[in-house]
Amino acid sequence: MEKIRVRFAPSPTGKLHVGGARTALFNWLWARHTGGTFVLRIEDTDTERSTQASVDQIISSLSWLGLDWDEGPKIGGEYGPYFQSQRLHHYEEKAQELIDKGAAYLCYCTPEELEAERERARRQGRAPGYTGRCRNLTEKDRVQLAAAGREPVVRLRVPAEGETVVDDLIRGRVVFKNNILDDFVILKSNGMPTYNYACVIDDHAMNITHIMRAEEHLSNTPRQILLYEALGYELPRFAHVPMILAPDRSKLSKRHGATSVEEFRHRGYLSKALVNFLSLLGWSPEGTDEIMPLDRIVAEFSLDRIAKTAAVFDVKKLTWMNGNYIRELPLAEIVTEVLPFMQKHGFIGAKATPAELELLTKSVKLTRDRAKTLEELVDVVSYFFSAEFQFEEKGVQKHFASAGAAVILETVKNLVSSVTSFDQQALEELYRARAKELGLKPAQLIHPTRLALSGRTIGPGLFELMELLGRDQCLVRLERALKFVQDELPAQLAAAEKGTE
Ligand code: GLU
Ligand code: ZN
């Protein structure tokens, strides 16, 4: 059996976009599914736009997603180097071969001349491609032009007639008329290759068997095929994966919110959830399950279940999936994931103590089904780590503003100090008994207690929450709430009253 070799070939001109991540993922899945090789190649020949920071970003995003490469930056491999900027001699050598064969030629046109040509074409209603002015220059012409200081580019000689067919594994046969493909540049005057050219040289040199990439590259493929033919190379298989659109079916962009992998990471998405979500953008498993562990996705991944139609990037669905992973993954894993977020927000120091880790584990266990992202998880456990919270406004109106609130908080305080064993069960029994004695519903004690202890009106079961906080912390917070109700709230209410008069 043929050994599958696929590659992800990003240009390091920005962060790793979710679309790029999806392309990387599909290649990685195909390699892992088939026992093939996944290559990472950095296409950094656009020296003006490529940056080291982008290379680092792409590498860290891929690593975070768990998309490990078998050959590429940092690890090398037998087909290296894996940065195009370090492979320039290959491009020069092959361009010379093409020139020698007559398949390519030097073009000395200046940008002004080319612009004038395009302008003429526009006026005459023709397509604005290069007309082939330098196709048949003589040696003498070339010497003269060079002597005049003109620096040539190299162009491929494209047949004016006929058609080039892309036999795409996903899109089927796509036919391009050669007369719309002009003699395009393969080597710029500064010696740098163009994308279409470098890509073909490297995909061949690196023995790539399947080129899986975004649909926007489909229109580049006939030019690349002409290059394969001119170079006498065997064609790889092509598979163009469908576009990713925003829910309004426009192109996914910044105005739809986060678009880079890094942003999703910082907003508290788990890599497992993001990978699961991205795997379903254009691919679908046979069954109806959407939440799928990675090993199942690898096992089921196949090219014939990749759709032709655009996929919709619905962040609500991603968030839903993420919540699912936060609920279902092993507790210890979620604790590890949320810890850096707790540290970032200052709830836990740079070096977490065993006591902090224990509290984090217990509080995450109590609250994780209320959070869809790690940021939300920080929010729902925050009051276990700090009593510096504000009391929620609508809770204050409902549970603290009535005349009996102070008495209720006093009652709760007494109850908390007198309960013999400070655990859920004992607390619950005592709450029920005391409520009954006072002719109240248990809820009339429970709601104010929750607000006093957490600042909120919703949360996990109150008695579990109390047990985790411990008696002393509960007393401190009840005392604080009581002070608020007696000393601060009346003034606030009076001021509000005045404001509405
Ligand atoms: N550097 C190209 C890009 O980032 C690679 C396209 C391809 O996979 O051929 O779009
Ligand atoms: Zn020319």
User: Alpha helix locations (H) across 69-194?
Assistant: 88-101, 111-123, 139-147
Which has the minimum average pLDDT: 223-227, 390-394, 401-405, 495-499? 495-499
Closest among 92, 134, 129, 126 to 110, alpha carbons compared: 134
Q: What is the pLDDT of residue 144?
A: 95
Ligand lying closest to the C-alpha of residue 150: 2
Average pLDDT over residues 106-134: 91
Q: Determine phi and psi for 382, rounding to 5 degrees.
A: -55, -40
Q: How many CB atoms lie within 10 A of CB 500?
A: 5
CB–CB of 461/401 below 8 Å? no
**pLDDT tens readout for residues 260-310:** 999 999 999 999 999 999 999 999 999 999 999 999 999 999 999 999 999
CA of 276 to the centre of ligand 2 (A): 50
Q: Determine phi and psi for 147, rounding to 5 degrees.
A: -65, -30
Q: Assign 128 a pLDDT band (cuts: 50, 70, 90).
A: confident
Q: Across the chain, what does the average pLDDT equal?
A: 95
Alpha carbon nearest to ligand 1 atom 4, residue = 10
Among residues 74, 140, 254, 316, the one annotated as catalytic is 254
Ligand lying closest to the C-alpha of residue 8: 1
Query: From the alpha carbon of 216, which atom of ligand 1 is closest?
Result: 10
Q: Is the pLDDT assigned to residue 52 strictly greater than 80?
A: yes
Q: What is the pLDDT of residue 1?
A: 67
Q: Which residues on adjacent β-strands are paired with residue 240?
A: 213
CA of 9 to the centre of ligand 1 (A): 5
Q: What is the pLDDT of residue 443?
A: 95
Q: What is the pLDDT of residue 129?
A: 84
Average pLDDT over residues 347-359: 97
**pLDDT tens readout for residues 435-489:** 999 999 999 999 999 999 999 999 999 999 999 999 999 999 999 999 999 999 8
Ligand 1 site, CB within 6 A: 9-11, 43, 199, 213, 217
**H/E segment holding residue 56:** helix 52-65
Q: Is the pLDDT assigned to residue 496 strictly greater than 90?
A: no
**pLDDT tens readout for residues 80-111:** 999 999 999 999 999 999 999 999 999 999 99
**pLDDT tens readout for residues 248-268:** 998 888 888 889 999 999 999
Distance of CA 320 to the CA centre of its chain: 16
Ligand lying closest to the C-alpha of residue 219: 1
The predicted model scores a pTM of 0.94
Closest among 378, 368, 376, 448 to 406, alpha carbons compared: 448
Q: How many CB atoms lie within 10 A of CB 483?
A: 13
Alpha carbon nearest to ligand 1 atom 5, residue = 9
Distance of CA 22 to the CA centre of its chain: 8
Task: Provide the strand spans (E) within 69-162.
Answer: 104-107, 153-156
Q: What percent of the chain has pLDDT over 70?
A: 99
Average pLDDT over residues 182-204: 97
Query: From the alpha carbon of 212, which atom of ligand 1 is closest?
Result: 8
CB–CB of 63/96 below 8 Å? no
254 is a catalytic site residue: yes
> What protein residues have CB closer than 5 angstroms to ion ligand 2?
107, 109, 133-134
